[in-house]
Amino acid sequence: MSRPRRLARALALLLFCLAAWPGASSAAESLIELEPGIVTQGQVVLLKVCLPGQAFEAQALRARFLGQEAPLVRGVGGCWVGALAADLNASPGPHEIEVKAGEMTLARRQVKVAAKDYGTRQITVAQKYVAPSREQLDRHQGEMERQRQAYSTLDPVPLWRGPWLAPLDAEVVGIFGRRSLVNGEPRSPHGGVDLRGGVGTPVRAPAAGRVAYLEDTYFGGITLLIDHGLGLISGYRHLSEAKVGPGQEVRQGQVIGLVGMSGRVTGPHLHFDMHLMGARVDPLAWVATSRRLALMLGGS
């Protein structure tokens, strides 16, 4: 019998045993450990799945949550680890996490998504950015589609090791998640953090990865996206210049661009954002969380 068929039989046997075991539902839930146990809008939760036996040694596992599937990788002790997140606009309330191997569901757990009020900010910008022309709107929509493509083509394994760093050691002048009133009109919440910096200040890669997107965009100005693997993509906007190109591999601490004021801005700064499987998450909170994930993955 081939190795894939032996693994498939082992998977099926384990699922049968779990289903037949009294209290199987609670047992399946106990396979999934979350840190923290509640998912907050815009925040990351770390996931650990410890499965009995060696049946899953060569299987690619993933966790399904809020319509997205996040890859899991082997961590310390042979358990599978990864990260999940709820977008800023995710519906509060109970949601289910499923751990899957192929089409088979190995474990389920219900988790609460908690709402979070990040506050409101008021911004005044040139009127052309509030009411762009049809041509400008078409340009913006094309740029967003190309960025969505970058977010959907992710490396399933982490391309970095160890904790992340902030791309700029600077004061936060625009916090993550704030709802915006642009010239008095409501807009979507702030999907990143704004870090103070003068034009030309070096921006450094917070972790190793690969450039997934680079374009001078209508709203974001010179915009750079880096795929770090495991579903994580970091973004850098309003740059005056990029120092790397599409497809280029970058190392932690490498200068990837310079602070600027391109696009829709009121002054020079770096907009730093993070997407996890498409969900907007607090990038500075992720920098702190990465220390814990590094330990789970066996890094330092």
Q: Indicate if 108 and 144 belong to the same structural domain.
A: no
Q: Indicate if 170 and 232 belong to the same structural domain.
A: yes
Q: Which of 99, 32, 85, 81 is nearest to 295 (CA)?
A: 81
Query: Angle CA(295)–CA(167)–CA(274) in degrees, nearest 5?
Result: 70
CB atoms within 10 A of CB 300: 8
- Using CA atoms, how far apart are residues 257 and 195, in angstroms rounded to an integer? 14
- Strands 104-114 and 39-40 turn out to be parallel
Q: Work out the burial of residue 131: count CB atoms within 10 Å of its CB; fewer than 13 is exposed, 13-18 middle, 19 or more buried.
A: exposed
Q: Indicate if 92 and 168 belong to the same structural domain.
A: no
Domain end: 114, 142, 162, which one? 114
- Using CA atoms, how far apart are residues 151 and 143, in angstroms rounded to an integer? 13
Flag whether 29 is in a domain. yes
Structure tokens at 283: 């990038």
Q: Indicate if 151 and 271 belong to the same structural domain.
A: yes
CATH number of the CATH domain containing 168: 2.70.70.10
Flag whether 49 is in a domain. yes
Domain end: 87, 114, 141, which one? 114
Q: Indicate if 142 and 103 belong to the same structural domain.
A: no
Query: Angle CA(47)–CA(112)–CA(295) in degrees, nearest 5?
Result: 20
Q: Indicate if 90 and 132 belong to the same structural domain.
A: no
CATH number of the CATH domain containing 64: 2.60.40.1930
Flag whether 296 is in a domain. no
What pLDDT is stored for residue 128 in this prediction?
Answer: 65
Note the pLDDT tens digit of each residue in 1-56.
554 444 444 444 444 344 434 444 444 556 899 999 899 999 999 999 988 765 55
What pLDDT is stored for residue 265 in this prediction?
Answer: 86
Domain end: 61, 92, 114, which one? 114
Query: Angle CA(267)–CA(210)–CA(80) in degrees, nearest 5?
Result: 115
What pLDDT is stored for residue 4 in this prediction?
Answer: 44
Flag whether 35 is in a domain. yes
Number of structural domains the chain divides into: 2
What pLDDT is stored for residue 11 in this prediction?
Answer: 47
Q: List, for the chain, all residue ranges whose pLDDT scores fall below the cut of 50.
A: 3-27, 58
What pLDDT is stored for residue 12 in this prediction?
Answer: 44
- Using CA atoms, how far apart are residues 67 and 64, in angstroms rounded to an integer? 7
Q: Indicate if 89 and 149 belong to the same structural domain.
A: no
Structure tokens at 206: 């917070």
Flag whether 298 is in a domain. no
Q: How confident is the prediction for the chain on average, in pLDDT? A: 87
What pLDDT is stored for residue 132 in this prediction?
Answer: 81
Q: Indicate if 260 and 128 belong to the same structural domain.
A: yes
Q: Indicate if 7 and 102 belong to the same structural domain.
A: yes
Q: Indicate if 56 and 127 belong to the same structural domain.
A: no
* Full domain range(s) for residue 182: 120-281
Flag whether 249 is in a domain. yes
Q: Indicate if 241 and 270 belong to the same structural domain.
A: yes
Flag whether 32 is in a domain. yes
Flag whether 135 is in a domain. yes
| Cα four-point dihedral sign 48, 54, 55, 61 | positive
Q: Which of 173, 180, 278, 267 is nearest to 225 (CA)?
A: 278
CB 247 within 8 Å of CB 210: yes
What pLDDT is stored for residue 273 in this prediction?
Answer: 97
What pLDDT is stored for residue 199 in this prediction?
Answer: 97
Q: Indicate if 134 and 267 belong to the same structural domain.
A: yes
CB 172 within 8 Å of CB 193: yes
- Using CA atoms, how far apart are residues 48 and 50, in angstroms rounded to an integer? 7
